[in-house]
A and B are shown apart, each in its own frame.
Chain A
Amino acid sequence: MTSTHGTVGRVVNFPVRDTATRAGAAVSRAAADVGASVTRFTDEQAGVVDDWGRDPGLVRIVIGASRLRWDVTVGGDQRLPKRKGALIVVNARALALAPIFSALALSEAVDRPVRFVGRPDTAPVGAFVRRIGGLLDHPDEVAGALAAGELVIMGATHDERLRKVGRVDHALVGGALAAGVQVFPAATLSSPIGRAARLEIGTASRSPRRRRGPLSELELADQVGRDIEMLLAELGDIRTGTPLDWFPLTGIGGA
């Protein structure tokens, strides 16, 4: 689920403050890089939560349980930065929980905690989702996590047409620009009746033009959507091995 949060552009600053903010952010990032020690998913201590309220012990249990539902093949994870943060945008079908299964599978693949956007702020569901790595659907929340060097997955809205990607929330993409991290498109394929699922991460998306204002996040969000559609086209159709595959509109597929 995405929203615009009433923001036109998260990258706009007044000129005087702009220089200071950029310099401050650069110093902050440099300082963070010097002392950066990436948390390893396998090394995380159980019985405590991390800085964002994610419980590694619970995440391991949920990953084990999720294998009953999904058997996820992860590809393209070598493209992600080893230490820095990154925003990964996936296509999401209604009720497919694509950001969640993608985050769980990617955590194991890259051995880093991976968070996802779309936590409700009501107990007990919101509290549980926070424990497994959920973040609020808010640009500042996403920007804060990305600036802290976290991998964050967000979903595009659902599009009824097969192999088409819905709207990518430009405000959240603006959070990535503000944090100075890359945005990666990723295609997900899953089936409502089978376990096989796939997450394929593409190369980082780039805005077609250099912009100084909020157009940069709008154009980058559109570009990410197009890149995901390209990845979906490259993946082809998923096969269940059943006669369902013979029908043209089975609802099987990622978009």
Chain B
Amino acid sequence: MMMTGKRVFVSGVGGELGTTIAGLLEQESWVGELSGIDADPPRHRLHRTVFHRIHPDEHDRIVDTVCRFNPHVLVHVGVWEPDARAAPSAAATLTDQAATSILGAAAECSALEHVVVRSGIEIYGRGRGALTRPSESAPIAPTSDWGRTVAAIEHTAAKVGERVGVTVGAVRLAPVLGPHVPSPLGRLLRQPGVPFSVLADPPFAVIEDRDAARAIVAAARIGLAEPVNVVAAGAITALQAARRGRRIPIPLVGPDWRIARALSFLLGAPIPDHVSETLHRGRLADNGRMRELLGIVPEHGTVDVIDRLYHWPSIIHQPARVQVA
């Protein structure tokens, strides 16, 4: 059991996941002071969290802010999934800058006891012969940009932990979906027509944003010192998802995908390589140790999350209360 009054620092607190995590941490009895950092302000009202709006390339300000706060626990969710909020190259740069600055700054803090990093099941890769449901002990062999990015974050965090002598836990999340989560997979599935691989149509699993946030908070609370897969139960294929959402399934083979990717990009739902890999090779992971390590299980299964994805409202147009023009 953790002692009370811990100082917790959340990087990436401006994102939907980071804001939800901060909101849940505010309700934790062991958390004393809470501070967060991001390039964008939080999505919800946070009552106890002190927010610092700093861009990831402002290295000195980040180091100064983190060192002054001197956290006991660092929750690093300041990562940019390709084509979620930034183009793949920009996302990789921002993620790398944030990871280097924040984890590096945390290493200088004398009070630091524990680090939790947000990772992804893309870290296992989907090369030929890759396990259908890799467990945490499966080899790390990323085959997409996003997979390599999360592998680099885990590597950096592990090095910091080793050097400073603190525990490091990695929460390997399935693709995160939620009403306000910018997700390339979610965006693609909500298009009027959903492409699927007619030869493979492999299964994939997802996790809802609140379940992902609960897992990260649990990892911070218990001081998780190893990786854990956080994946909702069950699986679904792109064709099945399209049918459940009453979308038009578009069967594609080989070169058709080039055209589909270009069209989808123009329609505002770009398909980054890790999503393309999901649609061609599937994306599952063994979540058997989640209950044992974190003491929680996801509230929503994969099929449930996909069903909810199609029930979330799209754009709600609010008419102006006073017509000014």
Contacts and interface: CB of A to CB of B under 8 A. Distances in A.
B235 A28 contact: no
Contacts of B292: 24, 27-28, 31
B240 A49 contact: yes
Most buried by A among B132, B138, B202: B132
Interface string A25-43: 0011001100100000000
A53 B131 contact: no
Nearest to B295: A31
Interface stretch (B158-166, B187-195, B282-290): B282-290
A122 B130 CA distance: 11
Given A24-B292, A51-B133, A130 B202 contact: yes
Interface in B79-132: 128-132
Interface string B200-228: 11110100000000000000000000000
A48 interface: yes
Most buried by A among B134, B138, B201, B205: B201
A53 B235 CA distance: 7
Interface residues of A, number: 29
Interface string B261-289: 00000000000000000000010101011
A148 interface: yes
A127 B138 contact: no
Contacts of A126: 200
B41 to A, nearest CB: 38
A136 interface: yes
B180 interface: no
A47 B132 contact: no
A140 B138 contact: yes
Contact of B289 (A28, A51, A140, A145): A28
A48 B240 contact: yes
A52 B289 contact: no
Contacts of A48: 234-236, 240, 303
A147 interface: yes
A148 B131 contact: no
B235 A50 contact: yes
Contacts of B288: 28, 32, 144, 147-148
A136 B233 contact: no
A53 B203 contact: yes
Contacts of B131: 136, 138, 140-141, 144
A138 B139 CA distance: 13
Contacts of B144: none
B44 interface: no
A130 B199 CA distance: 12
Contacts of A127: 199-202
A28 B293 CA distance: 9
29 contacts: A24-B289, A28-B292, A48-B234, A48-B235, A49-B234, A49-B236, A51-B205, A51-B234, A52-B133, A52-B203, A53-B202, A53-B203, A121-B129, A121-B130, A123-B197, A123-B200, A124-B200, A127-B201, A136-B131, A136-B132, A140-B131, A140-B137, A140-B138, A141-B132, A144-B133, A145-B133, A147-B288, A148-B286, A148-B288
Given A47-B240, A130-B132, 11 more contacts: A32-B288, A48-B236, A49-B237, A51-B233, A51-B235, A127-B200, A127-B202, A130-B202, A140-B137, A144-B131, A144-B135
Interface of B: 128-135, 137-138, 197, 199-203, 205, 233-237, 240, 243-244, 282, 284, 286, 288-289, 291-292, 303
